[in-house]
Chains A and B, each alone.
Chain A
Amino acid sequence: MIFDPICAVATPRGFSALAVIRCSGMNVLERVMPFLKLNKNKIEPWRLYLTEFTVGDELIDELTVVFYKAPRSYTGEDMVEFISHGSPMVLKLIIETLFKAGFREAMPGEFTKRAVMNGKMNLLKAESIEVLINAKTRKAHEAASFIYQGKLGHSIEAIRQLLIKAMAEVEVELNYPGEVEASTEAVYSLLMEVKRLLEELVAHGENGIALTEGIRTVIAGRPNVGKSTLLNALLRKDRAIVTDIPGTTRDTIEEALSIDGTYFRIIDTAGIRKSDNPIEKLGINRSKQEIEQADLVIFMVDLTDPEQDLKLFESIKPRLKRYVLLGNKLDLAKCHEAVELCISANSGESLRDLEKKMLEKTADLSNPYEGELFITERQKALSNRALDYLNETLEALVGGVTMDIISSLLHQTIKILDELTGKHLQEDLLDTIFKNFCVGK
């Protein structure tokens, strides 16, 4: 059974004043009625009732209940929601009773998945809900809210319409030979416009992921330059083990940090040096990977011995998207002209300047771009795939590939966009998307 009755506690576990239990599926009202002191025939949907939840003679809780009639509910199915006291014991007893009455526990995101499958919302909106719930900063909330309002959907639809226009040009010519001639230039310029929009979408789209998942910030440098000290200083707590033995940090350490409302994920890495220790070597390789994937690299230079650090920096510089070249140990030595900023991670001197620098360097990532943001890797991957197909189409067009293939490629590109917005749904795809959701949503 797929749309069998499900239930779940929708509020966090633990003691609280109130809690919500959500139920959805077939015959939900009939299933919960035996436990309520209400007359089934008199119940109206979308109204709150105060009643008692009893099992046999035993009162479990006094609570309020509301019944939603399909399709006017969150999932598009019949639903019941209880607002009970937030006692873990009350919740446990109610849920156990519901299980006995034929409910099963909802899987993570199952309520939203059902909403998508019943046409209550599109995939983009559904994805934004999870991000909205988990938003850690004001800007992440803004990004999720843009998509929730359908703005990403509008941008994609605009691109889709351009593709359809290009397709129409091609099709008219194919179907009315001799009567109408499609201008290849018109098709080409339409596709170039699509390319521009898609590239913009992909570029700004990454910002959305940075906003919601945090800007990946890697602290890098040679051993014992003070990377772990800097991490602890930024977090204002002792997270990483700091010793004066070079190479103490063998694996990468990841921590979340909010600087003036912008969400950073700070990654402390093993110092880069030649090493024969196999474990340290693994760590060093990992560091190199992290550096390449980072949105921002803080490369640290030991001011007491800067030359080797600076040499290493020059060698990795071409692989960096954004960086801060930071001098450390200002408490022991003078600032160096080659670095951008000097601090003392130990004393905390000029730490605020570093934070400002981090914000400044990532300003392009943290400005939400209205309506053109992705918030999930799926959205990013599909947009990139659409762009790949488009580039293939453009190449084919320029390379003299015949129009029949061009029209087929255009068709495929449109289909990818439809998959992105959820016009074409696949069950296995939905499962992947919703498995990261919280239970009860």
Chain B
Amino acid sequence: MRSTIDDYSFDIVVVGAGHAGIEAGLASAKAGMKTLVLAINLDTVGWAPCNPAVGGPAKGVVAREVDALGGQIAKTTDKTAINIRMLNTSKGPAVRALRAQIDKKEYSIEMKRALENQENLYLRSAIATEILVENGKVAGVVTHFGQVYRCKAAIITTGTFLGGKIVIGPKAFEAGRLGEFPSKMLSESLKKLGFKLARFKTGTPARILGNSIDFSKMERQDTSDTPLAFSYFSEPRVLPKDSPCWLTKTNPRTHSIIRRDIQFSPLYGDVKLIHSIGPRYCPSIEDKVLKFSSKDSHQIFVEPEGRNTGEYYLNGLSTSLPFKTQVEMVHSVEGLEKAVIMRPAYAVEYDFVIPEQLHPTLESKLVENLYFAGQVNGTSGYEEAAGQGIVAGINASAKLKGAEPLVLKRSEAYIGVMIDDLVTRGVDEPYRLLTSRAEYRLMLRHDNAHLRLTEYGYRYGLIPRWFYDKVVIIREAINREVSRLNDIVLKPSNSVNNKLLSAGTTAIYQPTRLAQLLKRPEITYSLLKDFDPQPISDSSLAEQVETTMKYEGYINRLRQEINRFEKLENELIPGDIDYDKVPNLSTESKEKLKKLRPMSVGQAMRIPGIKPADILNLSTYLTSLKRRHNH
């Protein structure tokens, strides 16, 4: 039974129950922390206010990484998916990614259920107004009802709600999302604590009534015929084909409507209501039309919002133009001539915390035990939020337990790349994960997230023992199979070469190991079966082996580079370092280091504008400190 006596005192309070808040709350509760999750509106827990979809390139890999760490996003996606596909199938395992349309409402219900059923977790409705700080440490969270929840650590995951403002054409009003309260006072409280905030904007397209759409004029995109699952814990399945996506596109008429009314845009118009920067990677349709003026057509994906709703999402038609223009614009598109707009497109402008104020653990440098995760750190996307959420949850719990924090390396996970980018380089536009951000992307694949991260999930109590054991067995099986293929030597003969030629590859003239043969781009594991006395039957294992062999040479080269940097990553900088005592640092670098307070020499090196000489001076100073310490 849950305690009713001490309902106002917690280990950890999570402010917000979006994609970051959910993962943070669950991770913290699973780690044994008494955890409170506060949501402004309990009916929109885990809400998907933009795309009704999870995944996509890089993002899909992040969802798998969160899953491998023991998170929720992939599981709930599997439960509520209505259309799922594997993207980039022909472009190589390293960029392959899942994308699923989710039933928006059901997703929210399932996420709420996951929170409700989690031991140690308390879900409450409230607007947080103030963070209480005592002796430089978090002491509690105050809500607008006047309640004070005492706690030892807090995780802020407020998304777009801090100082949220919605803009549609010339109209603007305060809201966290359309129809929801913003959180104004928390921004003030954070500023009072000394945090620097800035503003970003993002947008969402209109929602259309399905009955009013002429789908016959659009291209149909069905769910995959292959059984698929996001989570390692779900059974892959083929979904019913009752919720296809549809493809249509804008045309010169759409573009001329946009150009005609651009003066009424809150961004481009005479009266600029929005001064903040929007995401370059997910531009509004007016951005696309103005910036790519040579293209007379842009694609629009018409996506169902769920099975129990008639609303469709117009992916690619995000805008902040006035409602009247939106109607005209939508009607100019093929198949949407008679479309009824149920909810208008809008832009939202919000406060975010400049992320260089955070450690790579996501703990703030200003206030101890205060963590930030998700869109409040200047990112965009559910998966990015979830990735930060689980790391913040793990680290807040670890800190209270006195355990080592989790800092994922750039060579270990997209999550590691993202957090390192955020806290070291900062953001100048809403940050979205892209494959190009990861220099070691050949290693950060959809198919090996469990091999990379499950061990961490297990160490922090988020992954059950049986699954951890399973991953260990898989890893051993892959190694065994790779060495087996290395031992089988194929001798050139007419029959062998005929088979090879008919498989579309070239003949061999010297005895060749099967493993070597598998490195050829056109050879698959199943093609090798003709020459292999004992092929394995597990197809997912075979795929892992194939990928391992094909990437071996490339990855070994990357590893050399990683090892070179590893030394610097492991050279930790004490938190209480006095940069004024480091001899010969340039003034400019000293300022930057004092402001950013990097955790390791490796991180210091990645700070823009830091010179090699400063790194040497810093490194030398650290060595002399250590020597003094040892004497």
Measuring CB to CB, which residues of chain A are less than 8 angstroms from any residue of chain B? Answer: 1-3, 25-26, 70-71, 76-77, 114, 116-119, 167, 171, 173-179, 396, 399-405, 407-409, 411-412, 425-427
Contact = CB atoms under 8 A, between A and B. Distances in A.
A167 B617 contact: no
29 contacts: A1-B620, A2-B616, A3-B584, A3-B617, A71-B586, A76-B586, A117-B616, A119-B612, A119-B613, A171-B435, A171-B436, A174-B435, A174-B436, A175-B58, A175-B434, A175-B435, A177-B88, A177-B91, A178-B87, A399-B521, A402-B90, A402-B91, A403-B88, A403-B91, A403-B95, A407-B435, A407-B441, A408-B554, A426-B564
B464 interface: no
A188 to B, nearest CB: 16
Interface string B428-444: 00000011100101100
B557 to A, nearest CB: 7
A174 B88 contact: yes
B91 A76 contact: no
B57 interface: yes
Top 4 closest pairs, chain A to chain B, by CB: A402-B92, A404-B92, A404-B94, A117-B613
Given A3-B617, A119-B611, A175-B57, A404 B93 contact: yes
Contacts of B557: 412
Contacts of B620: 1-2
Nearest to B558: A408
A2 B435 contact: no
A427 B88 contact: no
B91 A404 contact: yes
B180 interface: no
B256 interface: no
Contacts of B435: 171, 174-175, 404, 407
B613 A26 contact: no
Given A171-B434, A401-B521, 16 more contacts: A3-B583, A71-B586, A117-B611, A118-B611, A119-B613, A167-B436, A174-B436, A175-B436, A177-B87, A178-B299, A404-B93, A404-B95, A405-B442, A405-B551, A405-B554, A408-B554
Name the residue among B299, B441, B554, B564 with the largest chain A CB count within 10 angstroms: B554
B108 to A, nearest CB: 27
Nearest to B619: A2
A118 B57 contact: no
Contacts of A114: 613
Interface of B: 56-58, 87-88, 90-95, 247, 281, 299, 301, 316, 434-436, 439, 441-442, 521-522, 551, 554, 557-558, 564, 583-584, 586, 611-613, 616-617, 620
Given A117-B611, A174-B435, A412-B557, A427 B92 contact: no
A36 B93 CA distance: 70
A407 B88 contact: no
A425 B612 CA distance: 7
A2 B617 contact: yes
Contacts of B611: 117-119
A407 B94 CA distance: 10
Nearest to B88: A177
B521 A402 contact: yes
Contacts of A25: 584
Contacts of B281: 175
Nearest to A402: B92
Contacts of A426: 564
Contacts of A3: 583-584, 613, 616-617
Contact of A174 (B95, B247, B616, B617): B95
Contacts of B58: 175
A412 B435 CA distance: 15
Given A3-B613, A402-B521, A404-B93, A26 B583 contact: yes
Nearest to A424: B612
B57 A177 contact: yes
Nearest to B443: A408
Given A3-B584, A175-B435, A408 B521 contact: no
Given A2-B617, A117-B613, A26 B90 contact: no
A26 B584 contact: yes
Contacts of B247: 178
B94 A408 contact: yes
A76 B521 CA distance: 51
Given A76-B613, A117-B611, A177-B57, A404 B442 contact: yes
